[in-house]
Amino acid sequence: MKVEINSAALADAVAWTTRVIDTRPSNPILAGIKLEAIDGTLQLSAFNYEISARHHIEAGVDESGAVLVLGKLLADITKSLPAEKTYLATNESTMTITSGKSTFTLQLMPAAEYPDLPGIPPKLGQVDAPTFVQAVAQACVAVSREENRPVLTGVRMQFDGDKVIMTSTDRFRLSRASFTWTPQDENVNTTTLVRGSLLRDVARSLDEHQNVVLDFDTESPSLLGFENAGRTSTSQLIDGEFPAVDRLFADEYPIQAIINRTLLIDAIKRVALVAERNAPIRMAFSGQELTLSAGAVDEAQAIETLDIDMDGDEITVAFNPSYLIEGLSAITEPFVRMKMTTPVKPVEFNGQQESDSDESMDYRYLLVPMRFNS
């Protein structure tokens, strides 16, 4: 293999592809990145049995060929290359990387032992990248960190015609984001469950000037694929039944309050300074005021009052402050509407553009109140 390639493009492609390589792979061969030079492109791929990554970039190919080298080492080398152009050349046992006056030699790994990457499922539909990135950020708020319950580490993705609904829950809260997209089949109706950590990783590396294509085979639902700007990832789906969470949303919320989102987040952060670890902060709604408080009588205490627009009876609820801030921070509108039924039932949070407008249902955050001493 003999290739001439832009150094920055190579470094970017290697960094993106090798992100799926585990620090300590279950099989040493999975520490490799496969490079294939063919038809004016350098194709890169990596795999860890659960996630695959494929990328291709333009290259001047003098001799085609395919090799396997240590991925993380190649990533370290390519990000430090000194010149604009890099030259790759291989013989039977090594690959030489030359850039400016720097030369590196890597030992080749046995490419024949590298597993075949899974095939790319058929195209399911596409959406603009900024919309997808925002939905992932919102939907992943409630992803659980409990690895012993894999279903809760995932995000359920429901594809129903031109609508996609993404939901996560860790049993204490629920986060749901919805968006409109362009499906291949306008009658599509299917559901997948994919790891939240993978969705975050995919969203972080997207070119936001290009659409995201989602790939899925409804007849053989084992993989979900993501395509964007010449990059393709696939992920094994989580095997298991996602909890029946739709019933947690109340049909009617008799108590509703509209609050400036930034002022609320800032107040929560201040009041939470005196809260012991895992202790709740209290939110007392009365008239057109919200009083936030934390701390105990014989310890440090904090109280802050905010003006609100409220309908319904007086109510006091208490929440984990971190869960409150994470959910509120995912709302993109300037105002938040809190919708309540009783002090112990889940509270729904929605964003809205104006203090007197309707709430947006594109993002719905449910949080279960904590019990507290009055």
pLDDT in tens, 65-99: 999 999 999 999 999 999 999 999 999 999 999 99
Q: How far apart are CA 305 and CA 310, in angstroms?
A: 14
Q: What counts of helices (H) and strands (E) characterise the chain?
A: 6, 27
Last residue of a domain, one of 54, 83, 113: 113
Residues 127 and 237 in one domain: yes
What mean pLDDT value characterizes the chain?
Answer: 95
| Same domain (yes/no): 102, 205 | no
Question: Does residue 219 register a pLDDT over 90?
Answer: no
Query: Is 160 domain-assigned?
Result: yes
- Per the domain annotation, does 150 fall within a domain? yes
Q: Give the 3-state secondary structure of residue 70.
A: strand
Q: CA-to-CA distance for 240 and 185, rounded, in angstroms?
A: 26
Please give the structure tokens belonging to residue 267.
């107040």
* Structural domain of 268: 249-367
Same domain, 240 and 255: no
Torsion sign across C-alpha atoms 5, 11, 14, 17:
negative
In a domain, 374, yes or no: no
Cα 276 to Cα 326: distance, rounded to the nearest angstrom: 18
Q: How many domains would you assign to the chain?
A: 3
11 lies in some domain: yes
State whether 261 and 359 are in the same domain: yes
Residue that terminates a domain, selected from 92, 113, 134: 113
Whichever domain contains 280, its CATH number is 3.10.150.10
Residue 188 is assigned to a structural domain of this protein: yes
Same domain, 75 and 164: no
Same domain, 334 and 253: yes
pLDDT at 46 over 80: yes
Question: Tokens 């789906």 — which residue?
Answer: 237
Residues 6 or more apart in contact with residue 362 via CB below 8 angstroms: 177, 178, 179
pTM: 0.91
Same-domain check for residues 362 and 262: yes
Q: Inform me whether the pLDDT recorded for 373 exceeds 80.
A: no
pLDDT of residue 374: 58
- pLDDT band for position 299 (cuts 50, 70, 90): confident
Note the pLDDT of residue 312.
97
Distance CA 224, CA 216 (A): 5
For the stretch 185-203, pLDDT in tens is: 999 999 999 999 999 999 9
372: confidence class by pLDDT, cuts 50, 70, 90: confident
What is the secondary structure of 253-266 as a DSSP string? -SEEEEEEHHHHHH
In a domain, 372, yes or no: no
Mean pLDDT of 15-31: 94
Can you give the pLDDT at residue 200? 94
Same domain, 295 and 262: yes
Confidence check: pLDDT of 206 > 70: yes
Query: From CA 131, how far away is CA 127, in angstroms rounded?
Result: 7
Residues 331 and 358 in one domain: yes
Predicted confidence at residue 17, as pLDDT, reads 96
Asked whether the beta carbons of 192 and 224 are under 8 A apart, the reply is yes
Domain edge (last residue) among 196, 214, 246: 246
Confidence of residue 146 (pLDDT cuts 50, 70, 90): confident
Is the same domain home to 271 and 323?
A: yes
Indicate whether 373 belongs to any domain: no
Section 305-316 average pLDDT: 97
In this structure, are 257 and 334 located in the same domain? yes
Q: Are residues 72 and 139 in the same domain?
A: no
pLDDT at 371 exceeding the cut of 90: no
C-alpha atoms less than 13 angstroms from C-alpha of 9 in its C-beta half-sphere: 20
Q: Is residue 162 part of a domain?
A: yes
Q: DSSP label at 101? A: T
